Amino acid sequence: MKLLFDQNISFRVVRKIIQDFPLAISVWDVGLYEEDDIPIWKYAKENGYTIVTQDDDFDNMYGIWGHPPKIIMIRTGNISNIDLAKLLISRKDRIEIFVNNTNIHFAGRLEINHIEVV
């Protein structure tokens, strides 16, 4: 499952989840760190990535253009990179079902909310 992490999520999170999400990359990895949202959207669409972000602009773009790419919205507020990585790993099954579902009527947006992480 190909996940592209937006610049508002640290590349360090990607390094912490790589065993569970081996195809996850950061915009840092593909030279898009300083780009606006539209080039990131286009890259994800052209290369089959799902965008993982905290940026409402991607949510708005999804509302206008739909999918692909699919969007995973992280709605946790400020939590540590370690806690965000734990949260994503704890939701791996849900994320995998979302990313891999090819039903055209299936939503292209998933929201991940904060949970208590131990």
The pLDDT score that the predictor gives to residue 117 is 47
Distance of CA 5 to the CA centre of its chain: 5
The pLDDT score that the predictor gives to residue 83 is 92
Q: What angle do CA 72, 10, 17 make, to 5 degrees?
A: 70
The pLDDT score that the predictor gives to residue 67 is 80
pLDDT averaged per 10 residues in sequence order, the chain, 118 residues: 94 96 96 92 95 88 84 90 94 93 75 67
Could you give the 3-state DSSP secondary structure of residue 88?
A: helix
89 in Cβ contact with 69 (< 8 Å): no
Phi, psi of 3, deg, nearest 5: -115, 130
Domain boundaries, the chain: 3-113
Cβ neighbour number for residue 89 with a 10 Å cutoff? 15
What are 111's two structure tokens?
């929201």
b/e code 53-77 from CB counts within 10 Å (16+ = b)? bbbeebeebbeeeebbbbbbbbeee
